Amino acid sequence: MNALAGISTRGRIRHNEPMSRHTSWRVGGPADIYFQPADVQDLADFLAGLDSATEIHWVGLGSNLLVRDGGLRGVVIATHRGLSNLERLDNGMVRAEAGVVCAKLAGQCARWKLGPAEFFAGIPGTVGGALAMNAGAFDGETWQQVTAVETVDRTGQIRTRQRFEFEVSYRHVKMPAVEWFVAGLFDFEEQADASVDGIRRLLARRKESQPIGLPSCGSVFRNPLDDHAARLIEASGMKGLRLGGAEVSGKHANFIINTGDATADDVERLINKIRNQVREEQGVELVAEVRIVGESLEN
Quote the pLDDT of residue 298.
73
Q: Give the model confidence (pLDDT) of 171-196 as tens digits.
A: 999 999 999 999 999 999 999 888 88
Quote the pLDDT of residue 283.
96
Whether 166 is covered by a domain: the verdict is yes
Quote the pLDDT of residue 208.
86
State yes or no: is 195 an active-site residue: no
166 in the same domain as 118: yes
Quote the pLDDT of residue 1.
47
251 in the same domain as 288: yes
CA distance 20 to 29: 7
Provide the domain count of the chain.
Answer: 3
Q: What is the pTM of this model?
A: 0.92
Q: Give the model confidence (pLDDT) of 188-246 as tens digits.
A: 999 988 888 889 988 888 888 899 889 999 999 999 999 999 999 999 999 999 999 99
Residue ranges in the chain modelled with pLDDT below 70:
1, 299
112 in the same domain as 191: yes
Final residue in a domain of this structure, among 196, 224, 248: 196
State yes or no: is 21 an active-site residue: no
CB 126 within 8 A of CB 101: yes
Whether 266 is covered by a domain: the verdict is yes
Structural domain of 112? 86-196
Active-site entry in 20, 219, 236, 249 = 219
Active-site entry in 17, 97, 141, 289 = 289
Residue 163, CA distances (Å) to 120, 149, 157, 186, 295 in order:
19, 7, 19, 10, 35
Whether 299 is covered by a domain: the verdict is no
Residue 110: Cβ within 10 Å count: 23
Active-site entry in 63, 171, 247, 268 = 171
State yes or no: is 219 an active-site residue: yes
